[in-house]
Structure 1
C-alpha cells in the first residue's frame, strides 16, 4: 500500500494541490479562455512574424469554417504533418473546435509510413508542409484522404484542384454551429507510437487527457511563483508532432500567456543564439539536444542558461554525466522527467521546487498514482521500496486506448492501470528512478543487466558523445553485452580503450564484450536514441 499512500506528496509546494483542477470543457474552450485573458499579447513569434492570442483565435475560427465547408463532420480525422510553426497550433485548434481528431504525422516519415498512418486512422483531411506534398499525393490513392491544406514557407508550388494553400483556407467565411464535446470520451489526438515495439499504434488521447496533463505540468512549474514576467518568453523547439512538445511546452505556453519563440528544428547554434538574444523564462528539450549543446561548450557557456527559471528534459532518460556536463558549462540544473505517449505524456518530473537527486526523474504529478509492481502467480504485487519492478500508472492523463486495437488496449490497460513496460524503483523519499525497459533487459550468465546502467558508465568516459547498449545471443552466456558509441568530434578513443574502461567500471557480466564506433546512432524524430533498431539489425546479422 506504500505507493497508494503517495509518499511524494510531502514534497509538494504549499500552493500545489494533491489533485489537478481542470476548468475547461474542451481544448477549444481552453483556447478561448486564454484569448480572453491575454488578448493582444504575442502568443507566437516565428522568424520575426508575431501572432497575438486574438489573431491566433481568428485564424483558428476561419480554418474551422473552411473544414466545415469541405463537409467535415464531428469525429473526422485530420492528419497534421508539419515542423514546428504557429500553423501547427492554428490547425490543431480548428480541428478541436469541430470535434475532430488530429492525427500527428511525423514530418520525417517516408511514403510507406505516411500511407500507413493515413490508412490506419482513416484521415480524410490533412494539413501539411508543401515540401511534403509530392510524397503525400503519391500515396493518396491508397488512403481515405480527399483534401489537403498546404503550408508554404517559401515559394509556392502548384496544387491539385481539390487542394488549397493555407492562406486561402484561412480566409474562409461562413457560420458553423458550436460542437458539443464530451471531454472524457471525445478523442482529440491520435498520437502514433514510434513502432519500435512493432506496428505503430494510434494512442487515443481525449480532450481531458491533454487538459489534465498540461495543467499538471503547468501547476508544478508556475503555481509556486509569486510573480512571473509580464512579457515572458519560452523557446518552443521540441516537436509539436510529439505529445511532449505539444502538451508540456506549447499548450503550457498558451495557458501561461507566454510569447513562444517557435523554432522548426533543433540547430545547436540557432538555439544558443536564441537563448542569448531572447532571454527566455523556460527551455525544455530531449537528452540528445543536451548532447548537442554540450558538444559546443565555448558557445554554450555564455548563452545565459543559468538565468532561466526552468530547464527541463524528457522524452528519454537523461544520462547523469550529460546533465552534470551541462551544469558545469552553464551553471544551470537540468530537471529530468518521465512520460510516454499513452500518458499525454507526463507522469513524473522534477519541478523547480523539488531538491534534485542524481539519476532521479523526480516525483509524480498531481492526481497520479505510480506503483512499482512484480507479477507473482498471475497477480501484480507491489515491489518493496528501493527494489526494481514494472512502473504502472493511474491518473486522468492516461489514454483512452489504442485506435481500433482492443487487444493491445487490454494488454496495456489492466484494471485502470497503464502498464508501461519500464523497469523502475522508488526510494524512501518518494523519488523515482528509471532502470530500463523490461524488453531491453539483458540476461547474461543468469544475471540481469540493464543497458541504461552500462550506458551511464560509458558516458563517464571522456570522448563519448552518445551510447547505445544491447544484448546479443551468446552460446555461453545466454546473452552478451555490445555497445555502440558515437565519439565527440575531437576524440581519438579506440575500441580497446572503451572495452578497458567498461572492465574497469562494471562487474564482469555487465561490461561490454564488443564495441562498435559509429558516425551516427539511430534516433527517433524527437531525438530519442533507438536501441531496438540497432538490436534488430544485429540480430539479423547473427541469424544470417
Structure 2
C-alpha cells in the first residue's frame, strides 16, 4: 500500500519498525540491568532506583504466587500514580497474571461490573477507595479472594509516613482498613520473606492487560492488550522521538497510569529509556505539579488538553520555571490550536504536539513530528502502523475526502474479553493485516498527514448539513473568555438538529450567550454556529481528562424528557379541573 507519510518523517525516525519481541517483565528487567543506579521513580521527594524497583517487583510477584495467583489469573489494580502502582503492575505481570486496570473514579457499581466481567481473583487498591469495594464485596458474582490494601503513606520515608495519616485524620479523609483473612496490607507483604518468584512461561503474544473501554461499539468491554502490543507501542513512541537521551530524561507522570495512554507514554516509554518518572497522584493539584516540573527538571511532559489548558490559565504558573520541558505529546482528546500556542509560549518553546490513539491500539497510532513539520491535526502514523480512510463499504476514499479511519500494526489488541461479536465488528482481516475500525471520521492530505474530523456517532446533522463538534469547539476556544468548551446536537423541529455549546469561563471573565453565538457566527457558517449556550462551572471529564460529550448529551436528553413529562402533567391537571 502507499505510505506518503514516510516522506515527512523527521530525520532519525525509522521507516520500518523492528521492535524486539519482549514481555513487560523482560522490559523492566533489562532496564534494571542497564540503568541500575539511576532513579526510576520519584514520589513526593523520595526516589527509588531501577535496581530497587526490580527487587520490589520480584518480591510482589512472589507474594502474589504465595497468595495463590497462577498464570492467566486476573489481578485488578485500583491505584493512582504511586510507586505501588508500578510495583503491582509489573509484579502481577511477572507472576504471569493478567492485569486489569480499574479507574479510581469508578463507582461501586462500575467496579463490580469490571471485577465480575473479568473474573479477578485479587484486587490491589488504595485504602481510601476501600469503602466502594465494601459496598459490593458480598455480591455472589464476585470472585475476589484477596484484597491488598495500600496507602500514600506506604511510599513515604520516615517521618512523612507517620505524619501523613495524622494530617488525613485531621482533614477527616482517613479511611482505616482492618486486615483480615481476606484483606492484607501491602506493607505487610514486604515485611515477609518470600523465595524468588517461580518463573512463568509468559510469551509476548499472551494477554498482559484488560483495559476497560466503551470501545468503538456499545457498553464498556475489556480490550485484551498483549505484552507484544504494549511493548511495541512503547518502542514505536521511542522511535518517533530520535532526540531522546537514554538514562537522562525526566518524565512527568501526571496522566493516570490506569489509562492506557498514561501507561504507555508516561510509564512504559520512560522505563524503556531509563527515564526518571516523577509521579503525580493528583494532576488537578497544580501547585504540586508545577513545583515538581521545576524542582525535578522535567524534560518530557505527556498530558491531555485539559491539563495544558489548566496550566495556561492558572495564576500559579507564572511563579514557576517550566523551561526544562522539551517535548510533550497531547493525547486522549483533540488539542485546540490555541491551547498549544499558549503552552509553547509559557514554556519557552516546548514542542507540544497532538497525538491520537485508542485503547484498542495500546493506544498511540498517530502524532505530529516532535521536531519536524507539524500540520493541523493528528499528524503521521508511527513506524510500523498502516492507516487508511474508508467509506461505509470498506473501500478507500480519495485523498482529502472524509471517511472512517482504519489502522493496523503490532499494537492492535487481540480482541475484546469474552466479546467475539464486538471483536468481529471492530477488527477486519485484509491482505494479511488486522485492521482496527476506529469509529472516527478523518481525512488524509497528499503528504500523509491525518486529521480527525469527529466521532461518527457524534456527527450533528443540521438541515441536512454535517457539523463536526470539534470544528465548533476550536472556534469557541479562541474566545478570550472561554476556558473549556464542548458541543453536542440537540433536537430542532425545523432543522432536525441544532448545535448547543457548553462553556466554562475563565476565572474573573464574563460573557453572555448572545456574545458567544455572535463570535462563532463571525467565523463559522450560520448552520454550524451554536443556537444555544449553557454556562457551567465544570464539564464532565473522563479519568484521563477527556471531556465527555456523551454525558452532556445524556443530561440534555434527561432534562428534555423531564420537561415534557412536567408539561403533560400540567395539561392533564388543567383538563381535570371543572369549568
Coarse TM-score class (shorter-chain normalised): over 0.9
Q: Could you say if the C-alpha distance between residues 426 and 515 of structure 1 is closer, same or farther in structure 2, counting changes exceeding 3 Å?
A: same
1:59 aligns with 2:59: no
Q: Could you say if the C-alpha distance between residues 92 and 427 of structure 1 is closer, same or farther in structure 2, counting changes exceeding 3 Å?
A: same
Q: Could you say if the C-alpha distance between residues 384 and 305 of structure 1 is closer, same or farther in structure 2, counting changes exceeding 3 Å?
A: farther
2:225 to 197, 205, 208: 205
2:308 to 268, 290, 293: 290
2:497 to 475, 479, 483: 479
Query: Displacement, 1:195?
Result: 7.6
2:25 to 23, 28, 34: 28
State the distance in 2 between where 1:134 and 1:539 align.
32
Aligned to 2:102: 105
Aligned to 2:143: 144
State the distance in 1 between where 2:319 and 2:236 align.
32
* Aligned-residue CA RMSD (Å): 1.7
CA offsets, 1:344-399, max 9 Å, x none?
00000123222212x22111111100111112xxx311121112111110000011
State the distance in 1 between where 2:519 and 2:14 align.
47
| Equivalent position SS for 2:501 | strand
Aligned to 1:38: 35
State the distance in 1 between where 2:243 and 2:322 align.
21
TM-score by length of 2: 0.89
Q: Could you say if the C-alpha distance between residues 187 and 281 of structure 1 is closer, same or farther in structure 2, counting changes exceeding 3 Å?
A: same
| Equivalent position SS for 1:381 | coil
Q: Could you say if the C-alpha distance between residues 302 and 48 of structure 1 is closer, same or farther in structure 2, counting changes exceeding 3 Å?
A: closer
1:116 aligns with 2:113: yes
Aligned to 1:538: 556
Query: Displacement, 1:18?
Result: 2.3
Query: Displacement, 1:168?
Result: 1.7
Aligned to 1:217: 237
Unaligned 5+ runs, structure 2: 154-164, 166-175, 563-579
1:462 aligns with 2:480: yes
Unaligned 5+ runs, structure 1: none
CA offsets, 1:463-483, max 9 Å, x none?
001111000121211111111
Any residues of structure 2 matched to 1:309-458 within 5 Å, and which? 309-332=326-349, 333-357=351-375, 359-375=376-392, 379-415=393-429, 416-458=434-476
Query: Displacement, 1:109?
Result: 0.9
| Equivalent position SS for 1:285 | coil
Aligned to 1:257: 274
State the distance in 2 between where 1:176 and 1:471 align.
55
TM-score by length of 1: 0.94
1:16 and 1:224 in contact (8 A); partners too? no
CA offsets, 1:106-162, max 9 Å, x none?
001111111111011100001100111222132122211010111122446322232
Q: Could you say if the C-alpha distance between residues 229 and 218 of structure 1 is closer, same or farther in structure 2, counting changes exceeding 3 Å?
A: closer
Aligned to 2:520: 502
State the distance in 2 between where 1:295 and 1:47 align.
25
1:21 and 1:212 in contact (8 A); partners too? no
| Equivalent position SS for 2:105 | coil
| Equivalent position SS for 1:251 | helix
State the distance in 1 between where 2:271 and 2:278 align.
12
1:273 aligns with 2:291: yes
Query: Displacement, 1:35?
Result: 0.8
| Equivalent position SS for 1:240 | coil
**Structure 1 segments (4+ residues) deviating >6 Å:** none
State the distance in 2 between where 1:428 and 1:304 align.
40
Query: Displacement, 1:270?
Result: 1.9
Question: Radius of gyration: which is bigger?
Answer: 2
| Equivalent position SS for 2:302 | strand
State the distance in 2 between where 1:454 and 1:344 align.
29
Equivalent residues, number: 532
2:216 and 2:438 in contact (8 A); partners too? no
Aligned to 2:75: 78
1:196 and 1:533 in contact (8 A); partners too? no
Query: Displacement, 1:198?
Result: 4.1
Q: Could you say if the C-alpha distance between residues 52 and 66 of structure 1 is closer, same or farther in structure 2, counting changes exceeding 3 Å?
A: same
State the distance in 2 between where 1:272 and 1:318 align.
20
Q: Which range moves more in the overlay, 533-542 or 150-159?
A: 150-159
Aligned to 2:161: none
1:237 and 1:264 in contact (8 A); partners too? yes
State the distance in 2 between where 1:153 and 1:176 align.
26
State the distance in 2 between where 1:146 and 1:119 align.
12
2:128 to 104, 127, 131: 131
Q: Which range moves more in the overlay, 52-61 or 9-18?
A: 9-18
Q: Which range moves more in the overlay, 27-36 or 197-206?
A: 197-206
Query: Displacement, 1:229?
Result: 7.4
State the distance in 2 between where 1:464 and 1:66 align.
51
1:468 and 1:485 in contact (8 A); partners too? yes
CA offsets, 1:3-60, max 9 Å, x none?
x311111122443322323324311111111111011211001112211111111111
State the distance in 2 between where 1:56 and 1:383 align.
49
2:246 and 2:273 in contact (8 A); partners too? no
